[in-house]
Amino acid sequence: MQSFRTEIENPIVEKDIIDLARKIELFREGKIHEEKFRSLRLARGVYGQRQQGVQMVRIKLPYGKMTLQQWKRIADISDEYSISNLHLTTRQDVQIHFVSLDRTPELWAKLEQDDITLREACGNTVRNVTASPTAGIDPNEPFDITPYADALFRYFLRNPICQEMGRKIKISFSNTDEDTALSFIHDLGFIPKIQDGKRGFKVVVGGGLGAQPILAQVAYEFLEEDQIIPYTEAVLRVFDRHGERNSRHKARMKFLLQKIGFETFVDLVTAERKALKNKTFKVKIEDWKAEDVAGYLPTKISEPINTQDSVVYQTWLSTNTFAQKQEGYFGVYVRILNGNIHSNTTRSLIEKLRGYIADDVRVTINQGLLLKFVPAANLPYVYSVLEAHNLADAGANSIANITACPGTDTCNLAISDSTHITSKLEEVITQDFPELIHNNDIKIKISGCMNSCGQHGMAHIGFHGSSLKAADKRVLPALQVLLGGGTVRNGLGRVADKVIKVPSKRGPEVLRVVLNNYEENALEGEYFNDYYDRQGEKYFYTLLKPVADLSTLKNEDFIDWGASEQFATEIGVGECASVIIDLVATLLFESEEKLGWTNEAFAENRWADSIYHAYSVFVSGAKALLLDKSVSVSTQTGVIQKFQENFVETGDIKIGDKTFNELVLQINQNEPSEAFAKEYIKDATAFLNLAKAYREETVEA
């Protein structure tokens, strides 16, 4: 096994990293099936790239927060293991690319020295918990949602109930009714409320973008603060048991709600309450005030800098800064083109800004940065530092700041470019519509495919990568144009309409035509989406049809942005939400491993965790034997029912007086007590022994 020093004080984290190294070695030796290994590494933030032989590593930053030391650590890691680029994502993560698989355990170990994790950044898990970057400093927020986002992140990290779900779960916390964390596109979204003097949250559930966007539904107009973690746990338990597991296209929460209906979903969630680890969970907000932490607030006041009379500076000041609720301090937004920032730039910024800003940098959902607690006197200095690094562009939250996923640069699923064209679209705004630098009401977003990692599905003006076929049968890169999406407020949103598909090289012209038409014909004070609704989808289709005309193609239209060769579609297999169908032997081996976790949790008096691990033993073991009979089942409830029909009722497996359903689903009929855990583990152990014995007899026969 590869040898390296972890220097990690946390034994749980150290075990995680050593286990990853061991599994990589077993995979290299052919002892772990490729599909199973993929599931394992994804849950540890290691994601396959478009380029063979290298990985993208996703670094999980809850609510996008980095200390300056953490930011520097990530930059140093990118130099040592990657290509010196940090990619900021719409999920408030940081990604580094072109990493060797064999070096990922060592990379992870070095990140953990500054309390940075890769765990559950990818795969069928609870992904990064996102939040409004202005949480804690926004003058309009009812209260700081940061401690709640942090508590939820920590509660479900390594939690047994969400390690191997059918698909990923995305959770957000917005800090005001403006809903800047986009709750309506999340599996679970929380918006803070105060009712009768008590803190709580509006809760929405079942939202998602992707190829089939669905808006979230309201679960609670007001759920008291101590109930949000128990409710989330109940939702995850239901999703784990009833969610689709064979068809990845139908395995999200939104499709489960669509399949069983919202009322049934609510009933199932309510039924889980008895089995929850915690019926209430009080977040310790009294211990949470970041600015009171030693070394958090700025300690330096800069010398006066003569920038305040500059028109450019004043524009930056009006579009990229805001007064915090803490008097005398300002938040400063930083635009980052395509979310890409070089490690050298990162270190230089840290060196020059340390002491002049808070020790707290937030990654924003539009792939930029937010600097916090900047004293008013330091604003000219901060501007001068950003300007020296070419990072002082105005309009941080305006139409000029376009969100884009990496697209064909690195992603397996991308169809056409989404990054090089972004700079061209931003040029259109800067050169043709400079006054729109102050417009924060229109958002432009672009993805390399229909899956909406760039969030094009909820953009006012959106694009996603596609392809078209010319009359001579040649294929050219294309953009699907979408219009009319966006945030409404308070958990409500709009899904953009697909209007027309155009050659990619004509994307800038689409933007010119749409914005010119809006400027010329909109009523005084009419917002873009109101104008879009008034004119209608067919109007914009007709408006853009000349731009989509394929009879006027030129040779350059067959070469994608940033490319030098003729376009060809090269779509690989996506990994972000892959559903794994394991081999029988692998599943039984996995069941034994889970039984080990079961006994370990029980020995540590973690009764609820041990019970859920034992439940997984039942399901994995049953699924293994069903696969041996070529019985395909798409949900865990289906596994339980089909095992009863194909093994218990046939007499192949004898489990006593109970049905298999009754035996397994004791999990949500009992309190998670020591006594129940002991009996349930005993039943799971006995069942696994029966399953292994049956398998051995079958193989011998």
Residue 242 CA to residue 236 CA, distance in Å, equals 10
pLDDT single digits (tens) 507-554: 999 999 999 999 999 999 999 999 999 999 999 999 999 999 999 999
Q: Which fold has domain 584-700?
A: Four Helix Bundle (Hemerythrin (Met), subunit A) (1.20.120)
Q: pLDDT per residue over 246-260, tens digit each?
A: 888 899 999 999 999
- 51 pLDDT tier (thresholds 50, 70, 90): confident
The secondary structure of 34-61 as a DSSP string is HHHHHHHHHTTTEEE-SSTT-EEEEEB-
295-388 in CATH: which number?
Answer: 3.90.480.10
Q: Is residue 582 scored above 70 in pLDDT?
A: no
Between 50 and 240, the more confident residue is 240
Percent of the chain with pLDDT over 70: 96
For residue 648, the Cα-to-chain-centroid distance in whole angstroms is 41
- Quote the crossing angle between the two packed helices 537-544 and 528-535, to the nearest 10°: 90
Tally of helices (H runs) and strands (E runs) in the chain: 20, 22
The pLDDT score that the predictor gives to residue 588 is 86
**Joined tokens for residue 443:** 């958002």
Least confident of 3-12, 144-153, 649-658, 678-687: 3-12
Say what the pTM is: 0.93
CATH number of 403-558: 3.30.413.10
Per-residue model confidence as pLDDT tens digits over 198-233: 999 999 999 999 889 999 999 999 999 999 999 999
Q: Which residue has the tokens 């076929």?
A: 469
| Closest alpha carbon to 291 in 324, 338, 320 | 324
- Ranked by mean pLDDT, which of 165-169, 177-181, 284-288 comes out on top? 177-181
Q: How much of the chain is helix, strand and coil, in % rounded to 5?
A: 45, 15, 40
Phi-psi region of 582 (alpha: psi -120 to 50; beta: other; left: phi over 0): beta
Angle among Cα 158, 164, 168 to the nearest 5 degrees reads: 90
Burial class (CB in 10 A: 0-12, 13-18, 19+), 121: buried
pLDDT at position 274, please?
Answer: 95
For the stretch 410-469, pLDDT in tens is 888 889 999 999 999 999 999 999 999 999 999 999 999 999 999 999 999 999 999 999
CA dist 663 and 642 (Å) reads 14
Reported as a single tens digit per residue, the pLDDT across 453-503 is 999 999 999 999 999 999 999 999 999 999 999 999 999 999 999 999 999
* 77 in Cβ contact with 107 (< 8 Å): yes
pLDDT at 571: 56
pLDDT band at 327, cuts 50/70/90?
Answer: very high
Question: Sheet containing 217-224: which strands, arranged edge to edge?
Answer: 130-131, 171-173, 188-195, 198-205, 217-224
Q: Looking at residue 308, what is its pLDDT?
A: 59
- Do residues 207 and 183 make contact, with C-beta atoms less than 8 angstroms apart? yes
CA 602, CA 137: separation in Å to the nearest integer? 42
pLDDT of residue 580: 35
Establish how many alpha carbons lie within 13 A of residue 551's alpha carbon, considering only the half-sphere containing its beta carbon: 2
Beta carbons within 8 Å of 345's beta carbon, 6+ residues apart: 389, 391
Amino acid at 406: P
635 in Cβ contact with 244 (< 8 Å): yes
Residue 1 has a pLDDT of 42
* CATH value of 130-285 in 3.90.420.10, 3.30.413.10, 3.30.70.270, 3.40.640.10: 3.30.413.10
How are beta strands 461-469 and 171-173 bridged, if at all?
unpaired
Question: What is the CB neighbour count within 10 angstroms for residue 548?
Answer: 18
Average of per-residue pLDDT across 166-188: 97
Query: Span 11-112: which CATH code?
Result: 3.90.480.20
Host H or E run for residue 156: helix 146-156
Supply the pLDDT for residue 577. 41
Share of the chain above pLDDT 90, in %: 81
Query: How many whole angstroms separate alpha carbon 475 and alpha carbon 544?
Result: 21
Closest among 481, 502, 498, 499 to 549, alpha carbons compared: 502
Q: Tell me which of 50 and 280 has the higher pLDDT.
A: 280
Give residue 29's pLDDT. Answer: 85
Average pLDDT over every residue of 394-404: 96
Rounded CA-CA distance 548/500 in Å is 8
Cβ burial 392-401 (10 Å sphere, 16+ → b, else e): bbbbbbbbbb
Q: For 73-84, how does the pLDDT look when each residue is reduced to its tens digit (9 = 90+)?
A: 999 999 999 999
Calculate the CA 440 to chain-centre distance.
Answer: 24
pLDDT band (50, 70, 90) for residue 307: low
Beta carbons within 10 angstroms of residue 13's beta carbon:
18
User: Which sequence spans correspond to the domains of the chain?
Assistant: 11-112, 130-285, 295-388, 403-558, 584-700
| Angle at alpha carbon of residue 11, lines to 677 and 162, rounded to 5° | 50
Task: Please compute the mean of the pLDDT values over residues 592-605 and round it to a whole number.
Answer: 94
CA distance 172 to 190: 6
Domains 130-285 and 403-558 share a fold: yes
For the cut 70, the answer to whether the pLDDT of residue 367 exceeds it is yes
